């Protein structure tokens, strides 16, 4: 072996760098199956050094002594921040991931900002609301996250962020979505400002796959070759830009939904799960959320409308029946839409919308030519293909509740955002963009990636949206809004676990 040879004992495998290759020995079983190969637990040569020496396998172009983080979105930046030393590989030419376009709303409980509204919010109240909205109690991991959100707020405030709570509705629920200074871009700038010197971020460096040796994560493949590391953190985001994966994992193919294909949720993690036998969680449904009216601003970093605003319309399905409380959190609302009711119409009166939205903005509300108005509810129902009797009954019910000043069966009280009686009946298909998914790689409570059989894959971790928001049990059909707090928290929590292991 040459004097530059380095041998690293990483868990159950020995990796040998290029300096060791000067003395070929008897060839062993080739390692090519292990490098970028199909299964992390594939049986390969255990004497890796000999096999490498025999030239049976492509060599790493570099060995990273620090963990590799795949993706420089909020979860990857958070993980890198607390790892202290990390090599972050990012496919885009900028950091920030999807949060570059996000309002940056963060779900947090028991904060100073809530107290300033006179709200005494607690994790227990949040857990009760969660159950009421989703029909299922939060998991232990979700409860742990809920209890941690106040600390997330304090940490971000210590990084110079201030928060705004300005959601006018729903009146029946506590305000929990905090808008940070500067929205998503402001959040990213604060994270970048606080990256330690030991973090190297390489832009325009897509990771093409994972490298496993003897069932252990051993690095990542790039266009230049593979980079070895004994710790790999997948922070590559979700898959909502990939129509094929959305359809595969949710059964939802089209309807009132549009994929946000400009945002870079390329589904890399889920592809790797399929290639490598990794486990996936909660992919039975697409837990996306998107406001019905927000669109990225022309400058790419702002939304035209307040995404949390509840506007005056009632959502009905093809039977003409209202099926959801429009004041529910957007993820709940739109999960209902995406998962089960593709033929959805937002029904209102022209005058109700005009009271809140300027005429020139109305085209932004709707998808294509789908804004329809008619002389009465029956004619409108005929035009949009829903049951006329049911639609008329639905709207008359809504108006009578408004007139009686009582909350409706869904809990939405009379308010400035109620549809007003006595105008021109109109309907539109919501112009929605899928913003995120809640399913992803299966992980344990610290973010260790699990294989398809539920076992831990040594050396492999996942955070953020790649791991269904990084908190087991948070995924599924009913996510919550402001999940960026979970995204950050999962990065910090997993970094702490990795540091404890190293």
Ligand X SMILES: Cc1cc2nc3c(=O)[nH]c(=O)nc-3n(C[C@H](O)[C@H](O)[C@H](O)COP(=O)(O)OP(=O)(O)OC[C@H]3O[C@@H](n4cnc5c(N)ncnc54)[C@H](O)[C@@H]3O)c2cc1C
Q: Retrieve residue 431's tokens.
A: 């112009």
Query: What are phi and psi for residue 200, nearest 5 degrees?
Result: -105, 125
Measured between alpha carbons, how far is 235 from 77 in angstroms, rounded to an integer?
9
Using CB under 6 A as the binding rule, whether residue 468 contacts ligand X is answered as no
Using CB under 6 A as the binding rule, whether residue 296 contacts ligand X is answered as yes
Residues 214-243 interacting with ligand X (rule: CB under 6 A)? 235-237
Question: How many residues in the shown chain lie near ligand X by CB under 6 A?
Answer: 40
Using CB under 6 A as the binding rule, whether residue 40 contacts ligand X is answered as no
Measured between alpha carbons, how far is 471 from 467 in angstroms, rounded to an integer?
8
- Apex 389 CA angle, 414 and 291, nearest 5: 45
Residue partners of 423: CB distance under 8 A and separation at least 6: 349, 350, 351, 352
Shorter beta-carbon distance to ligand X: residue 105 or 311: 105
450 class by beta-carbon count within 10 Å (0-12 exposed, 13-18 middle, 19+ buried): buried
Rg (CA), the chain: 25
Shorter beta-carbon distance to ligand X: residue 71 or 123: 71
Using CB under 6 A as the binding rule, whether residue 97 contacts ligand X is answered as yes
Question: Binder to ligand X among 90, 129, 169, 326 (CB under 6 A)?
Answer: 90
Question: Binder to ligand X among 60, 71, 186, 215 (CB under 6 A)?
Answer: 71
Using CB under 6 A as the binding rule, whether residue 73 contacts ligand X is answered as yes
Shorter beta-carbon distance to ligand X: residue 296 or 411: 296
Using CB under 6 A as the binding rule, whether residue 105 contacts ligand X is answered as yes
Question: Binder to ligand X among 228, 336, 425, 464 (CB under 6 A)?
Answer: 464
CB of 326 to ligand X, least distance (A): 18
Q: How many CB atoms lie within 10 A of CB 360?
A: 7
Complete DSSP assignment for 216-270? EEEEEEETTEEEE-S-EEE-----TT-HHHHHHHH---SSSEEE-TTS----HHH
Residue partners of 299: CB distance under 8 A and separation at least 6: none
Using CB under 6 A as the binding rule, whether residue 266 contacts ligand X is answered as yes
Shorter beta-carbon distance to ligand X: residue 223 or 360: 223
Complete DSSP assignment for 409-468? TTS--S-TTSPPSSS-EEEE-B-EEE---S-EE-B-TT-EEEBTTS-EEEEEEE-GGGBG
Shorter beta-carbon distance to ligand X: residue 386 or 484: 484
Using CB under 6 A as the binding rule, whether residue 104 contacts ligand X is answered as yes
Measured between alpha carbons, how far is 373 from 368 in angstroms, rounded to an integer?
15
Using CB under 6 A as the binding rule, whether residue 327 contacts ligand X is answered as no
Using CB under 6 A as the binding rule, whether residue 169 contacts ligand X is answered as no
Q: How many CB atoms lie within 10 A of CB 342?
A: 15
Judged by CB under 6 A, the stretch of 53-61, 70-78, 324-332, 346-354 that binds ligand X is: 70-78
Shorter beta-carbon distance to ligand X: residue 67 or 402: 67
Using CB under 6 A as the binding rule, whether residue 465 contacts ligand X is answered as yes
The length of the chain in residues reads 502
Judged by CB under 6 A, the stretch of 15-23, 92-100, 137-145, 390-398 that binds ligand X is: 92-100
Measured between alpha carbons, how far is 24 from 138 in angstroms, rounded to an integer?
56
Using CB under 6 A as the binding rule, whether residue 36 contacts ligand X is answered as no
Query: Residue with CB nearest ligand X?
Result: 73
CB of 329 to ligand X, least distance (A): 11
Question: Binder to ligand X among 45, 69, 70, 165 (CB under 6 A)?
Answer: 70
Using CB under 6 A as the binding rule, whether residue 270 contacts ligand X is answered as no
CB distance 235 to 447 below 8 Å: no
Judged by CB under 6 A, the stretch of 72-80, 157-165, 348-356, 373-381 that binds ligand X is: 72-80
Build a one-symbol-per-residue string for 241-260: x at contacts with ligand X by CB under 6 A, - elsewhere. -------------------x
Shorter beta-carbon distance to ligand X: residue 26 or 223: 223
Residue partners of 44: CB distance under 8 A and separation at least 6: 29, 31, 33, 34, 51, 213, 214
CB distance 189 to 181 below 8 Å: no
- Contacts to ligand X by CB under 6 A: 70-76, 89-92, 97-99, 101-105, 206-207, 235-237, 260, 263-266, 268, 296, 435-436, 464-466, 482-484, 487
């Amino acid at each position: 072996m040459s004097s530059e040879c380095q041998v690293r004992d990483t868990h159950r495998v020995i990796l040998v760098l290029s300096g060791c290759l000067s003395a070929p020995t008897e060839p062993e079983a080739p390692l090519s199956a292990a490098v970028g190969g199909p299964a992390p637990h594939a049986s390969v040569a255990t004497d890796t050094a000999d096999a490498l020496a025999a030239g049976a396998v492509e060599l790493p172009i570099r060995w990273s002594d620090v963990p590799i983080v795949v993706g420089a979105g909020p979860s990857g930046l958070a993980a890198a921040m607390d790892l202290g030393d990390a090599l972050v590989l990012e496919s885009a030419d900028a950091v920030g991931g999807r949060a570059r376009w996000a309002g940056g709303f963060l779900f947090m409980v028991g904060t100073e900002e809530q107290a300033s509204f006179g709200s005494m919010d607690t994790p227990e109240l949040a857990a009760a609301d969660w159950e009421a909205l989703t029909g299922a109690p939060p998991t232990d991991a979700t409860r742990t996250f809920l209890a941690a959100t106040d600390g997330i707020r304090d940490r971000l405030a210590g990084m110079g962020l201030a928060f705004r709570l300005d959601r006018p509705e729903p009146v029946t629920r506590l305000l929990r979505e905090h808008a940070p200074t500067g929205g998503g871009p402001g959040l990213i700038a604060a994270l970048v400002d606080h990256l330690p010197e030991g973090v190297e971020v390489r832009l325009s460096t897509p990771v093409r796959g994972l490298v496993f040796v003897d069932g252990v994560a051993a690095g990542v493949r790039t266009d230049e070759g593979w980079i070895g590391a004994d710790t790999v953190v997948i922070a590559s985001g979700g898959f909502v830009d990939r129509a094929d994966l959305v359809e595969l994992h949710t059964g939802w193919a089209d309807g009132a939904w549009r994929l946000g294909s400009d945002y870079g949720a390329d589904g890399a993690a889920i592809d790797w799960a399929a290639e490598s036998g990794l486990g996936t969680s909660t992919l039975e449904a697409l837990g996306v959320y998107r406001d019905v009216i927000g669109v990225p601003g022309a400058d790419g970093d702002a939304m035209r409308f307040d995404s949390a605003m509840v506007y005056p319309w009632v959502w009905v399905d093809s039977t003409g029946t209202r099926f959801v409380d429009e004041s529910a959190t957007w993820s709940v609302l739109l999960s209902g839409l995406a998962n089960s009711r593709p033929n959805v119409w937002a029904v209102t009166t022209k005058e109700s919308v005009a009271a809140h939205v300027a005429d020139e903005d109305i085209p932004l509300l709707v998808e294509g030519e789908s804004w329809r108005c008619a002389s009465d509810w029956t004619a409108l129902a005929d035009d949009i293909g829903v049951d006329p009797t049911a639609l008329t009954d639905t709207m008359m019910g809504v108006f009578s509740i408004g007139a009686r000043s009582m909350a409706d069966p869904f809990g939405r009280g009379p308010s400035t955002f109620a549809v007003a009686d006595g105008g021109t009946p109109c309907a539109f298909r919501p112009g929605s963009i899928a913003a995120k998914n809640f399913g992803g790689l299966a992980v344990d409570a610290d973010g260790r990636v699990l294989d398809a059989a539920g076992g831990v894959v040594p050396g492999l971790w996942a955070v953020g949206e790649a791991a269904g928001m990084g908190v087991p049990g948070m995924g599924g059909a009913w996510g919550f809004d402001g999940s960026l707090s979970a995204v950050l928290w999962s990065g910090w929590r997993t970094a702490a676990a990795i540091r404890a292991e190293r």
